[in-house]
C-alpha cells in the first residue's frame, strides 16, 4: 500500500523528538511536553482543511448511532488491539493507523485474527490516544450529509493531530477543523459526550484550555465561555453545552473516565465509596445537573450507577486514598450492536458487566483486561474508549424515541412517537411489541403525524394490569435501507409495565420510600420522592417552629421516582421537616442540619 505522508513543518519536527517510542506516551502530558505547546499551537494554522463552519444546520451524532468504521492507532498494546479488532470488524470496518502494515497483518494472522474487514494507513503518529485527537461524526440537515469535525489537540503531538486528515481522505469525508481565529478551539474526544440532538456534556477543562492562559504558552485559544459555546454550536450543532467542575484526582479531567450517555435520557455514572477519591465531586456534579437540566423531553435524566473499582491493594486515585490508577468501567466504546469495555478483576467485573447488560439489553458485551501484565493500559491514564473512535455511516436512518414509562392505563392504546429520518425519505415505519420476549413480536403500522418534525406515530394495544410490554421501532427508507432502534432489536427493546392500581393510603405511604441523604446534612442533599401515579401538591421544608424555609417543588409530581435536591450549606444547625403536601394527604420526613 502506498505510504501516506502528511506534511509536517520544521517547527513540528522539533517537537516530536520525544516520540521515538510512541507507545510510552501517557494520555496526559509526558515530562516536558507542556513547554512545547507554544510552538506546537503556532504550527497548527499552517494546515489547509476547511476552517469555516458549515453553512447548513449541523448535528453531532451520538455514540450509539450506526458506524461505518472504528479507527485505532496500533502502538504499544498489541494484545489489546487484537481483541478490539476481532470484535469490531464483525460490526464495521476497522481502520488501523500504523508504522508498518505488513507487521500488523503478520501479528494479527499469527494470533488467529481474521482480516476480513480491516484497512491500514501507514502514517506518522505520536501516541495511542485516538479518542482525543480523532474527529467527530456530524451530519448536515440531521441526516443528509456526513462530515467530520476536529479540534486542536491539547497535547504537542502534531502527527497525532494530523490523523483525521489521513482517514477522512481515505473515506472521502469532508473535514472541518477549528484551527483559525476567531474559530480556533482546543478540545478532546474524551471530554465530549453528546446525545445526538443538541446537548453536550464536558468538564470545565474546555474552559481552561481556551482561556488564553496555558502554563507554558501564549498561543492557547483565548475565548470566553459564550464564544466557546458559539463555536461549538456553529461547527457541531450544540446549543446546550453543560460543563461540570473538574474532578480533583482523575488526572486528565475527561468525563469519559466516569460517565457515559447510554441513550438520550440515560447517563451511566461512576460511583466511589462514600467520601473516597473523586466521589464527593461526582456527587456534587450530579446534583448540579439534576437540579438544572432535564432530558430532551423535559424529564429528569435517568442515572444508572456503576462502581469505580480499586487497585489490587484496595486503593483509589488521589492522596490520601492511594496512588492507584484510575480504573473505570464507563470508558467503553459502542460499535453498532457491540459494546467493548475494560475489565480489571473478576470480583468487580462481574457486577459491572451485569449492570451494562441490564442497562443495554441485547448488545453483545466484549470485555478486555486492561490491567494485565504486558497490557497494563490503565496505568497510562485511559482505557478502551480512549484508544478508539468511530466514524458514522454516510446514509444514517435515524430513529429518536422518548421511551414509554410505566402506566396505570389498561384501557386505551399506548401511543409511540418517534422521529424517523433518512435523506431519501421514509417509506414506512412499524412498532413491534410483545409481552414475552421468547415469543414472536406483533407489528403495528406507524403513520407520519408531523412532516415538519419527521414524527411517526403508532399505537400498542391496551394490556391488562400486571403486564410487561417490550417494544422497538423499525423504519424503512425510500432507498430501501432499514434500521431499528434500539439497534440490536429484537434482542434489544424498550419496556414498560402496566401497573396494578393502588389505594390512596398506599400511594401516599410510598412517597418517602427512601430516606433523605446525607442526613445529617451540610450542603447538597438528595430527597428521593416516589409516587405510583401523578399527584398535585407541594414539597417544602420547615424549621422546628413550623416556619417555611424553602419550597422545593410546587405543582404536578411526575409518576415514578424523582430526586429533588436542596443545599443546606448556609442553613442554621437544627432539625427541619421535609413536607410532601399532596391532594391525597401529607407526609413528613425529618432532616438534621449540622
Task: Write the pLDDT tens digit of every residue in 351-390.
Answer: 999 999 999 999 999 999 999 888 999 999 999 999 999 9
Longest alpha-carbon distance in the chain: 81
Q: Are 576 and 583 in contact (CB under 8 A)?
A: no
Angle at 250 between CA 248 and CA 256, to 5 degrees: 125
**Architecture of the domain defined by 10-392:** 5-stranded Propeller (3.75)
Q: Are 147 and 139 in contact (CB under 8 A)?
A: yes
How do the domains of the chain map onto residue ranges?
A: 10-392, 398-497, 504-593
What are the Cα distances from residue 251, in Å, to 28, 117, 186, 206, 386?
Answer: 7, 36, 18, 15, 14
C-alpha–C-alpha distance, residues 177 and 134, integer Å: 11
Burial pattern 171-183, b for ≥16 Cβ within 10 A else e, equals bebebbbbbeeeb
H or E element at residue 81: helix 78-88
Chain length of the chain: 594
How confident is the model at residue 268, as a pLDDT? Answer: 97
H or E element at residue 556: strand 548-557
How confident is the model at residue 9, as a pLDDT? Answer: 29
Residues 6+ apart with CB under 8 A from 2: none
How confident is the model at residue 217, as a pLDDT? Answer: 63
Q: Are 8 and 158 in contact (CB under 8 A)?
A: yes
Q: Are 119 and 93 in contact (CB under 8 A)?
A: yes
**Class of CATH domain 504-593:** mainly beta
Query: Fold match between 398-497 and 504-593?
Result: yes
C-alpha–C-alpha distance, residues 14 and 32, integer Å: 13
C-alpha–C-alpha distance, residues 123 and 354, integer Å: 39
Map residue 51 onto helix, strand or coil.
coil
How confident is the model at residue 510, as a pLDDT? Answer: 65
Q: What is the pLDDT of residues 199-252, one digit of tens each?
A: 999 999 999 999 987 655 667 899 999 999 999 999 999 999 999 999 999 989
- The H helix count followed by the E strand count for the chain is 11, 31
Angle at 127 between CA 126 and CA 128, to 5 degrees: 150
C-alpha–C-alpha distance, residues 113 and 468, integer Å: 42
| HEC string for 173-215 | CCEEECCCCCCCCECCHHHCEECCCCEEEEECHHHHCCECCCC
| Closest alpha carbon to 365 in 387, 343, 383, 381 | 343
DSSP strand pairing (240-244 vs 199-203): parallel
* Residue 232 in grid coordinates: 461549538
* Residue 236 in grid coordinates: 457541531
Mean pLDDT by 10 residues, the chain (594 residues): 29 31 74 87 76 96 98 96 98 98 97 95 96 98 98 94 96 95 95 97 96 73 96 98 96 96 97 93 94 91 94 83 86 98 96 96 97 90 97 98 91 96 98 96 97 96 95 98 98 92 52 79 85 80 82 83 87 86 79 86
Instruction: Estimate the crossing angle of helix 78-88 against helix 101-110, to 10 degrees.
Output: 80
Q: Are 511 and 533 in contact (CB under 8 A)?
A: no
| HEC string for 375-394 | ECHHHHCCCCHHHCEEEECC
> 398-497 adopts what CATH topology?
Immunoglobulin-like (2.60.40)
How confident is the model at residue 521, as a pLDDT? Answer: 86
What are the Cα distances from residue 495, in Å, to 338, 418, 572?
Answer: 20, 15, 45
DSSP-assigned states of every residue in 259-282: EEEEETTEEEEEEPSTTSTTHHHH
Amino acid at each position: 500500500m502506498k505510504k501516506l505522508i502528511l506534511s509536517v513543518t520544521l517547527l513540528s519536527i522539533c517537537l516530536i523528538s520525544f516520540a521515538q517510542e510512541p507507545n510510552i506516551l501517557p494520555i496526559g502530558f509526558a515530562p516536558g511536553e507542556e513547554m512545547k505547546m507554544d510552538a506546537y499551537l503556532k504550527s497548527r494554522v499552517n494546515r489547509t482543511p476547511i476552517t469555516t463552519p458549515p453553512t447548513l444546520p449541523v448535528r453531532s451524532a451520538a455514540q450509539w448511532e450506526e458506524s461505518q468504521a472504528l479507527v485505532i492507532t496500533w502502538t504499544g498494546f498489541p494484545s489489546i488491539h487484537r481483541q478490539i479488532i476481532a470484535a469490531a470488524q464483525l460490526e464495521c470496518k476497522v481502520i488501523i493507523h500504523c508504522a508498518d502494515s505488513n507487521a500488523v497483518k503478520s501479528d494479527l494472522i499469527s494470533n488467529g485474527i481474521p482480516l476480513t474487514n480491516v484497512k491500514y494507513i501507514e502514517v506518522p503518529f505520536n501516541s495511542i490516544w485516538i479518542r482525543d485527537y480523532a474527529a467527530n461524526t456530524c451530519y448536515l440537515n440531521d441526516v443528509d450529509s456526513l462530515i467530520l469535525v476536529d479540534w486542536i489537540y491539547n497535547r504537542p503531538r502534531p502527527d497525532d493531530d494530523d490523523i483525521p486528515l489521513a482517514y477522512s481522505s481515505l473515506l472521502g469525508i469532508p473535514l472541518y477543523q477549528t484551527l483559525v481565529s476567531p474559530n480556533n478551539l482546543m478540545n478532546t474526544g474524551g471530554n465530549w459526550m453528546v446525545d445526538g440532538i443538541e446537548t453536550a456534556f464536558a468538564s470545565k477543562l474546555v474552559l481552561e484550555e481556551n482561556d488564553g492562559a496555558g502554563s507554558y504558552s501564549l498561543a492557547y485559544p483565548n475565548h470566553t465561555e459564550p464564544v466557546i459555546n458559539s463555536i461549538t454550536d456553529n461547527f457541531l450543532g450544540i446549543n446546550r453545552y453543560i460543563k461540570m467542575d473538574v474532578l480533583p484526582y482523575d488526572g486528565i479531567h475527561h468525563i469519559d473516565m466516569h460517565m457515559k450517555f447510554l441513550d438520550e435520557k440515560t447517563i451511566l455514572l461512576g460511583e466511589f465509596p462514600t467520601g473516597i477519591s473523586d466521589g464527593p465531586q461526582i456527587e456534587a456534579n450530579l446534583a448540579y445537573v439534576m437540579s438544572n437540566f432535564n432530558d430532551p423531553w423535559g424529564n429528569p435524566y435517568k442515572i444508572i450507577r456503576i462502581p469505580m473499582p480499586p487497585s489490587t491493594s484496595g486503593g483509589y486515585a488521589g492522596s490520601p486514598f492511594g496512588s492507584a490508577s484510575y480504573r473505570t468501567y464507563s470508558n467503553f466504546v459502542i460499535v453498532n450492536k457491540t459494546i467493548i469495555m475494560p475489565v480489571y478483576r473478576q470480583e468487580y467485573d462481574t457486577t459491572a458487566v451485569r449492570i451494562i447488560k441490564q442497562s443495554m439489553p441485547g448488545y453483545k458485551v466484549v470485555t478486555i483486561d486492561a490491567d494485565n501484565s504486558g497490557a497494563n493500559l490503565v496505568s497510562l491514564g485511559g482505557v478502551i474508549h480512549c484508544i478508539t473512535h468511530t466514524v458514522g455511516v454516510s446514509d444514517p436512518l435515524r430513529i429518536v424515541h422518548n421511551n414509554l414509562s410505566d402506566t396505570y392505563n389498561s384501557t386505551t392504546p399506548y401511543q409511540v412517537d418517534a422521529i424517523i429520518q433518512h435523506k431519501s425519505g421514509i417509506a414506512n415505519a412499524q412498532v413491534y411489541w410483545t409481552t414475552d420476549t421468547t415469543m414472536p413480536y406483533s407489528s403495528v403500522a406507524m403513520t407520519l403525524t408531523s412532516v415538519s418534525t419527521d414524527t411517526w406515530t403508532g399505537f400498542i394495544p391496551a394490556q391488562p394490569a400486571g403486564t410487561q410490554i417490550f417494544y422497538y421501532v423499525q423504519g424503512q427508507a425510500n432507498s430501501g435501507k432499514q434500521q431499528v432502534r434500539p439497534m440490536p432489536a429484537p434482542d434489544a427493546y424498550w419496556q414498560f409495565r402496566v401497573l396494578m392500581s393502588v389505594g390512596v393510603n398506599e400511594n401516599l405511604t410510598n412517597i418517602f420510600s427512601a430516606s433523605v441523604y446525607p442526613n445529617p446534612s451540610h450542603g447538597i442533599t438528595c430527597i428521593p420522592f416516589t409516587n405510583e401515579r401523578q399527584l398535585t401538591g407541594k414539597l417544602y421544608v420547615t424549621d422546628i417552629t413550623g416556619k417555611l424555609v424553602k419550597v422545593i417543588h410546587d405543582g404536578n409530581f411526575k409518576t415514578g421516582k424523582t430526586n429533588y435536591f436542596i443545599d443546606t450549606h448556609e442553613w442554621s444547625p437544627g432539625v427541619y421537616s421535609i413536607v410532601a403536601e399532596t391532594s391525597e394527604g401529607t407526609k413528613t420526613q425529618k432532616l438534621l442540619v449540622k
